[in-house]
Chains A and B, each alone.
Chain A
């Protein structure tokens, strides 16, 4: 009888461990990296830590928190530098704080932790207000001292940084809508239906056309004056992040590993699809001379404006986040890799890499 009791208890413990293991693996899914840079430093959000890294040599200038990682925070979003000298961080952890740091010292100015959902999108500062989209579907507003002003429900989880143009903020949502938010009226002015969930930011052309990619496997151009779709372009796979615009050309990668150049005026294919060695998630980076993308297979590619490959460089890990330009360098933040920040020069040669001490 005792052995049977033991069997029941062991079965219970085993099931608990298996289910807990499932939870743990779900928690491991809570990792992503967000990257931004100015002319001197790169700011890397990586798990529970944020690093300021010197562009000169890849050394750490400061890390936040300074002493020990706070496991209740998980920073996915690219840190944002504001004009008044703040560095804004957004956490997707269980504490889901919105944090302002001094970008010189890494010391905290203020934090806000009362949102209903987590922060996956980067916030944006416009004039005297900080706008932060949340996965609870609300757009939160704060003054520059971090005082909460208001929160407006738009609809659906908001995963991407808003785009600002004069009187409006444009925000893509996972609820298949592109929202135009009237800053003065503090309300949604209009919404345009997209063909699928849109986790990446919209892009604004000089003529007022908004471009968005989505899980509908389409790139859609929306006229911001008429709110109607001008054209759409079908991609083979889902489009995860924002597009890149260079003059008349739009560049976009998809989850099936295709990279396209599209005519921004009419949605016609200019060249492509070219097939690098893996899934493309991050938005392309357009420099003066070429276009850079990273793949899930850990390789960086530079393409000429005619679609020919200029160089490719194996970085390692998985390049999910968009590459960023920092001074003369091209920065990648690989996941599942010892080095979490890699700097390349314009010829694709590695200049330095940053590996955190553990």
Chain B
């Protein structure tokens, strides 16, 4: 099922893009990421709406009132919170969904990259079975895994003064950090969700950087493109908090 609905379609879309843009796998990954971003645009919008709604609730008198009133009755507090969510049209999980959607995409894309850049007999044989009949790959197999200085099927590093410097991983950390900071709304003192957001904005970039350093560089290219597009998306929607990037500014 995972193969049929996630990996094989992704692989074929990647190959289709690769074929029509002149056999450049790096550009294919960038365009594929743009496609994913476009498809998940409604979810991103929902995420922003959810984040903002939750943020506004933290300042809402009624919300603060029920927190105080039912602080010793968790069940009643949960009921009242759900009522307010419903009345204001807020989905408390709306901000999590796009993040969760990223997981199957990351895993699926990674598998698609590895499968498409088949470099052993068995992987090439398996790859030949993942192709949709309408896609004529005779001309494009084997795929060119070189993009700029990278082999997209392998982890990337640049030799700088004899030291293997993980350039893409560093860029992934920086762009992930910028994106998560721009997404984080201005925090109120004692605001738990903002504190959680701050924590995520520190952990997640390093986690993504670790993946970028460890796995195929095609995945790092996806991370970077996705982050840059995310920043552009937030900016276009007027939701980017540029002030968060200034150290010390709350």
Residues of A within 8 A of B (CB): 1, 4-5, 8-9, 11-12, 15-16, 18-19, 22-23, 26, 29-32, 76, 92, 118, 120, 135, 156-157, 159, 174-175, 195-197, 199, 215-217, 238, 240, 255, 281, 320
Contact = CB atoms under 8 A, between A and B. Distances in A.
Given A19-B107, A174-B142, A92 B195 contact: no
Contact of A30 (B103, B122, B138, B142): B122
A19 B121 contact: no
Given A32-B120, A281-B125, A157 B142 contact: yes
A124 B192 CA distance: 68
B176 interface: no
Given A15-B106, A15-B107, A217-B138, A31 B196 contact: no
A9 B204 CA distance: 10
B125 A23 contact: no
Interface residues of B, number: 32
Contacts of A216: 138
Contacts of B126: 29
Given A22-B111, A23-B215, A5 B125 contact: no
A174 B117 CA distance: 13
28 contacts: A11-B103, A12-B207, A15-B106, A15-B207, A16-B210, A18-B107, A19-B211, A22-B107, A23-B114, A23-B215, A26-B123, A29-B126, A30-B122, A31-B122, A32-B122, A118-B120, A120-B120, A120-B121, A135-B119, A157-B142, A174-B141, A174-B142, A175-B142, A199-B121, A215-B128, A215-B141, A216-B138, A281-B125
A159 B111 CA distance: 23
B2 to A, nearest CB: 10
A9 to B, nearest CB: 8
Interface in B203-236: 203-204, 207, 210-211, 214-215
Nearest to A13: B207
Nearest to B103: A15
A182 B154 CA distance: 34
A32 B118 CA distance: 14
B103 A197 contact: no
A92 B120 contact: yes
